[in-house]
């Protein structure tokens, strides 16, 4: 008689392995609003790991818009947008975003992950090719895996290697029908930028599409926070899909794509994550509109986050920390081993600083780090306290 298999025992065993190897995530409970100073696990701390770069999550205009739209339209959309949940406020958001992006059309999704996972696999099929930066976000990777297209990887940010891959693709027989180059705009673990101008040039030479995930660039890069396409002064003929989220600098939740009318029409007819999921709550859609309007009227938020980033980065580098190749308000504090990163995170936590360790498989095994994310409302007093905590912890752990 066969030994009866326990169907879930391996789940606990795998979790214990992660704990033993210092690869597990330890969830902490945020008990107040996401602000520069907040309460986590009953402890008042300086928040240094939120995506809320411009602190719009608690902006009074954004909060008020949520309340008013919820009272007017209800708590939920009542259906998928593809069926009976396409509300006036959803259409207004799509139009408002396109105007902000200075593009013909936009389409909002329920989350940024769903935008990538829903649209990417529809862009290519058998006989097509995806060409992807080796450090692209997991949602892009999953989107590519859902496709039947061939795939090729180029070295991180290396335009020369991308050109090599594209030249090889041209020799493929039978010839590829469609080729798409996929890249993050801001790489979320390192805070560095894709060489988008070079990518666009290579794509044009080969008749390829360009898809950029600008989740961490929106609200931070470009004219008035319009993102990486604006930052590099590119147009819609050079970058064909600009994907982003409302859950970071905009301070709310949701994903979106921007490009031409054909892109919008294709996307909402083909993306199963859009077609088969309920529309975002009307209060959320209204909050996203309000966040866009705040960004247009109050440019100081963008200016402040860059001032804080520059202040913190200079101080950390002066202390001798390795901050990688940061070009944005994401500043990695490189630690090497996962155990070291966790030890540093625990040390600064005790000093009232909340910033998480990033370990394998999010990054390579020997590239663990603390990922610091600056926001617009951090004061020099906040940052000085954080810098002092990092200094003490770094010396104790031999990082500086």
Beta bridge partners of 130: 151, 180
Within the chain, residue ranges assigned H as helices are 9-20, 60-73, 88-101, 112-123, 138-145, 159-170, 196-206, 228-231, 261-270, 272-275, 282-297, 300-319, 338-350, 380-396
Q: Rounded CA gap, 61 and 269, in Å?
A: 33
- Whether 248 is a known active-site residue: answer yes
Q: Which residue in 137, 231, 248, 377 is the catalytic one?
A: 248
Catalytic residue among 90, 137, 216, 378: 216
In the chain, the N- to C-terminal Cα span, in Å, equals: 61
Tell me how far apart the alpha carbons of residues 362 and 185 are, in angstroms, rounded to a whole number.
17
Mention every residue, 6+ apart, whose C-beta is less than 8 A from residue 67. Answer: 283
Check residue 80 and report its DSSP letter. B
Kindly list the distances between the CA atom of residue 54 and the CA atoms of 108, 246, 295, 357, in Å, as whole numbers in the listed order: 21, 12, 9, 22
Helix axes 282-297, 300-319, angle to 10 degrees: 80
Q: Are 177 and 220 within 8 A, CB to CB? A: no
Give per-residue burial for 169-206: e unless 16+ CB within 10 Å, then b: beeeeeebeebbbbbbbbbbbbbbbbbbebbbebbeeb
Q: Is the Cβ–Cβ distance between 199 and 181 less than 8 Å?
A: yes
Give the separation between CA 78 and CA 74, rounded to whole angstroms. 9
Say how far apart CA 265 and CA 242 lie, in whole Å: 15
Please list the alpha-helical segments (H only) found in 31-111: 60-73, 88-101
For residue 42 the two structure tokens come to 């009953």
**Catalytic-role residue among 139, 147, 188, 326:** 188
Strand partners, 105: 259
Query: Which tokens sit at 250?
Result: 């905009």
Q: Which residues participate in catalysis according to the annotation?
A: 188, 216, 248
């Amino acid at each position: 008689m066969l030994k009866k298999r326990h169907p879930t025992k391996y789940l606990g065993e795998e979790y214990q392995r992660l704990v033993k190897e210092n690869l597990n995530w330890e969830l902490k409970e945020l008990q107040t609003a996401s602000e520069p100073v907040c309460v986590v696990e009953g402890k008042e701390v300086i928040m240094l790991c939120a995506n809320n770069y411009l602190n719009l999550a608690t902006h009074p205009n954004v909060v008020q818009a949520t309340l008013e739209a919820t009272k007017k339209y209800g708590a939920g959309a009542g259906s998928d947008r593809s069926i009976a949940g396409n509300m006036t406020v959803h259409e207004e958001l799509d139009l408002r975003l396109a105007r902000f992006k200075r593009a013909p059309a936009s389409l909002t999704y329920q989350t940024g992950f769903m935008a990538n996972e829903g649209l990417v696999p529809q862009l290519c099929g058998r006989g097509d090719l995806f060409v992807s930066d080796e450090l692209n976000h997991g949602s892009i990777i999953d989107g590519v895996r859902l496709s039947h297209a061939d795939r090729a990887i180029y070295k991180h940010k290396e335009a020369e290697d991308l050109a090599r891959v594209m030249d090889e693709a041209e020799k493929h027989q039978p010839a590829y029908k469609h080729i798409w180059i996929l890249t993050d705009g801001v790489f979320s673990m390192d805070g560095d930028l894709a060489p988008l101008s070079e990518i666009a040039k290579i794509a044009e030479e080969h008749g390829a599409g360009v898809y950029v995930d600008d989740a961490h660039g929106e609200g931070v890069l470009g004219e008035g926070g319009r993102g990486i396409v604006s930052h590099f002064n590119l147009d819609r003929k050079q970058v064909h899909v600009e994907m982003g989220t409302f859950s970071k600098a905009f301070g709310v939740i949701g994903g979106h794509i921007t490009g031409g009318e054909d892109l919008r029409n294709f996307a909402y007819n083909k993306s199963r994550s859009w077609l088969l999921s309920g529309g975002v709550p009307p209060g959320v859609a209204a909050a996203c509109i309000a966040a866009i309007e705040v960004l247009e009227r109050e440019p100081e938020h963008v200016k402040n986050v860059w001032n804080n980033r520059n202040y913190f980065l200079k101080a950390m580098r002066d202390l001798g920390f390795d901050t990688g190749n940061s070009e944005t308000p994401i500043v990695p504090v490189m630690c090497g081993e996962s155990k070291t990163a966790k030890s540093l995170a625990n040390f600064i936590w005790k000093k009232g600083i909340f910033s998480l360790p990033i370990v394998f498989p999010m990054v390579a095994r020997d590239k663990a780090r603390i990922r610091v994310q600056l926001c617009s409302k951090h004061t020099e007093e906040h940052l000085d306290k954080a810098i002092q905590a990092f200094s003490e912890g770094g010396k104790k752990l031999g990082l500086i």
